[in-house]
Amino acid sequence: MSNDEKRPSWVPEGGAEGFACRVMDGVAAGHDGISAYKSAGKSRKASKYSRPKLTPKQLAEGVLNSDRGLLGRAITLAESNLPTHVDQAQEVLKTLLPHTGKSMRIGITGVPGVGKSTFIESLGYYLLNNGYKVAVLAVDPSSSKSGGSILGDKTRMERIGRDERCFIRPSPSSGTLGGVARKTRETMLICEAAGFDVILIETVGVGQSETTVRSMVDFFLLLMLAGAGDELQGIKKGIMELADALVINKADGDNELPAKMARNEYERAMHYLQPSTEGWVSHAFTCSAAKDKGIEDIWKVILKFKEVTTESGVFANHRRQQNINWVHDMVDEHLRNLFTRHPEIVKALPEIEKRVADEELPAVSAVQKLIEIFEQ
Ligand SMILES: Nc1nc2c(ncn2[C@@H]2O[C@H](COP(=O)(O)OP(=O)(O)O)[C@@H](O)[C@H]2O)c(=O)[nH]1
Ligand SMILES: [Mg+2]
C-alpha cells in the first residue's frame, strides 16, 4: 500500500512530504493502524501484517523520544477497545505519566461555523512561530456518524498541518461521549509526554461535549459571533459560565463594529455570571481568526491566566480534582455499560419502558425491578 493512500484528501498537492496529518486505519484493521506511515523519512515497505510488534516499553520510549510514528501508534493503541490493547495502553500510560502535565491544555468550543478550526490554526500558527510545539485534538462524538470528520473543516488546518512541530489528531470516532472523552484524555497525556507544550482541543458546541472538554483542560475558551440571535441566549448562559474567556470571532470587514459592540454587551453580561475558575474574572474579546487579528492578545490572556492560577494554587488543585473526577466518570461509564449491555436487562427493558410510558408502572418501581434483574 502506498503512503499516499493514507493521506487525507485535503493534503495539498506536491510538497506534501512533511505534511503532519495522516488518516489512520481503523482499529479493526490492526491496532496501531499506520502500516504505511513514514517514520523519520524512512519508507516502510512492509504491510501491516509484517510490521514488527512493539512492546509497551518500546512504544513509550518512542513517545518520549518524540518519534511521530510511534506517537501515532501509541495513540491508536489507546483508542482501541480490545481488552488486550486496553491493558497494553495502560502500561504505556503508566510509563509516560511521570512525563506528563507540563503542557497548557486549552479547550475551544462554539457553535458549528463560528470559526473554531480557523481559530485553532491561527493560534497554532502563532504558537509555532513563537517556539511552542502544538498538538491539536478534537472531541466530536458525532464524527463516527459523519464519517470521521477531521476537526469539522478539513481545509482549515493546512498552514499548521505541514509543520513537524505540530501534531493533529481527529476525534476518536466511536460510541459514547464518555468513550471519546477517555480516549482524548489519554491522547492528551501521550502528546504531553512526547513534548508538546500546548494542547488545543476543539469540540463541537452541541450537547454535553463542552462540559466534558471543560473537565479535561486548564483554560476553556468560548468562541461566539456578533448578532447570532437571541434564541441562542438560553444556551449561552450555561456555556458562558464555563468559559475563562469569551471571544467574538470574525471581527473583520463590515463585521468589525458589530463584533466590538457584541463584545461590550457580553462583557457587561459576564458581571452577573459565576466565574468559571476561582480567582479569575473572565472577559470578552474580539478577534479575526481568518485575518490573524487579536490572536496574540488572547494568548497573552492565557499566559496571564496560568500565572495567576499557578500563583494561587488553583491551577494545580484544578488538575488534581480533574484526575479524581476522571476516575469517577470512568466508573460511571463502566457501570452504565455493564448495565445497558446486560443480556437480561436488554431483554426486559422494552417491556418495562412500555409499562412506565403507559403509566402502569411507577418509575421508581421500574428502577427497582431493573436493578433486581441486574443483580441476579
Ligand atoms: N470573515 C471571517 N470568516 C471566518 C473567520 N474565521 C472563520 N471564518 C469562516 O467561517 C467558516 C467556518 O469556519 P470553521 O473554522 O470551519 O468553523 P468551525 O465549524 O467552528 O470549526 C469558514 O468558511 C471560515 O473561513 C474570521 O475570523 N473571519
Ligand atoms: Mg471545525
110 Cβ closer than 6 Å to some ligand 1 atom: yes
153 Cβ closer than 6 Å to some ligand 1 atom: yes
The conformation of residue 149, written as its DSSP 8-state character, comes to -
Nearest atom of ligand 1 to the alpha carbon of 293: 27
pLDDT of amino acid 208 = 78
Q: How far, in Å, is the centroid of ligand 2 from the Cα of 112?
A: 7
Report how far residue 221's alpha carbon sits from residue 14's, in angstroms, rounded to the nearest whole number.
35
Region 254-268: mean pLDDT is 92
Q: Predicted confidence band at 254 (pLDDT cuts at 50, 70, 90)? A: very high
Residue 163 or 17, more confident: 163
Residue 32 or 341, more confident: 341
Counting ligands in written order, the one closest to the CA of 151 is: 2
Query: In Å, how far from its chain's centre is CA 261?
Result: 31
12 Cβ closer than 6 Å to some ligand 1 atom: no
Flag whether pLDDT at 37 surpasses 90. no
Residue 258: burial class (beta carbons within 10 Å; 0-12, 13-18, 19+): middle
Mean pLDDT of the chain: 83
pTM: 0.81
pLDDT of amino acid 25 = 42
- The b-or-e profile of 170-198 (16+ CB within 10 A means b, else e) is bbbbbeebbbbbbbbbbbbbbbbbbbbbb
CATH number of 100-311: 3.40.50.300
| Ligand 1 site-directed mutation target among 126, 137, 153, most atoms within 8 Å of CB | 153
156 Cβ closer than 6 Å to some ligand 1 atom: yes
Q: Which cell goes with 106?
A: 486549552
Among the ranges given (42-46, 244-248, 311-315), the one the predictor scored with the smallest mean pLDDT: 42-46
114 Cβ closer than 6 Å to some ligand 1 atom: yes
pLDDT of amino acid 373 = 96
pLDDT of amino acid 42 = 43
What is the residue-wise DSSP string for 244-275?
A: SEEEE---SGGGHHHHHHHHHHHHHHGGGSPP
Query: Percentage of residues in the chain with pLDDT exceeding 70?
Result: 78
Q: What is the pLDDT of residues 84-123, one digit of tens each?
A: 898 999 999 999 999 999 999 999 998 888 899 999 999 9
Flag whether pLDDT at 138 surpasses 50. yes
Q: Which cell goes with 141?
A: 462524538
Region 266-283: mean pLDDT is 88
Of the CATH numbers 1.10.287, 1.10.357, 3.30.310, 3.20.20, which one belongs to the domain with range 323-375? Answer: 1.10.287
Flag whether pLDDT at 73 surpasses 50. yes
172: closest CA among 73, 60, 78, 31? Answer: 78
Flag whether pLDDT at 33 surpasses 50. no
pLDDT of amino acid 2 = 44
Q: How far, in Å, is the centroid of ligand 1 from the Cα of 7?
A: 24
Report how far residue 341's alpha carbon sits from residue 241's, in angstroms, rounded to the nearest whole number.
35
Closest residue (by CA) to atom 12 of ligand 1? 113
Q: What is the pLDDT of residues 167-226, one digit of tens each?
A: 998 887 666 777 788 889 999 999 999 999 999 999 876 667 888 899 999 999 999 999
Region 59-68: mean pLDDT is 95
Q: How far, in Å, is the centroid of ligand 2 from the Cα of 204?
A: 7
pLDDT of amino acid 235 = 56
Would you kindly state where each structural domain of the chain is located, as residue ranges?
1-26+51-99, 100-311, 323-375
The set of residues, in sequence order, having a beta carbon less than 8 Å from that of 181 and lying 6+ positions away, is 139, 212, 213, 215, 216, 329
pLDDT of amino acid 271 = 83
Sign of CA dihedral 257, 297, 111, 250: positive
List the beta bridge partners of residue 115: none
Region 324-350: mean pLDDT is 92
Residue 370 or 83, more confident: 370
289 Cβ closer than 6 Å to some ligand 1 atom: yes
Report which residue type is found at 325: N
Flag whether pLDDT at 67 surpasses 60. yes
252 Cβ closer than 6 Å to some ligand 1 atom: yes
Region 124-129: mean pLDDT is 96
Phi and psi for 62 in degrees, rounded to 5? -60, -45
Flag whether pLDDT at 6 surpasses 70. no
Residue 241 or 230, more confident: 241
pLDDT of amino acid 158 = 81
Architecture of domain 1-26+51-99: Up-down Bundle (1.20)
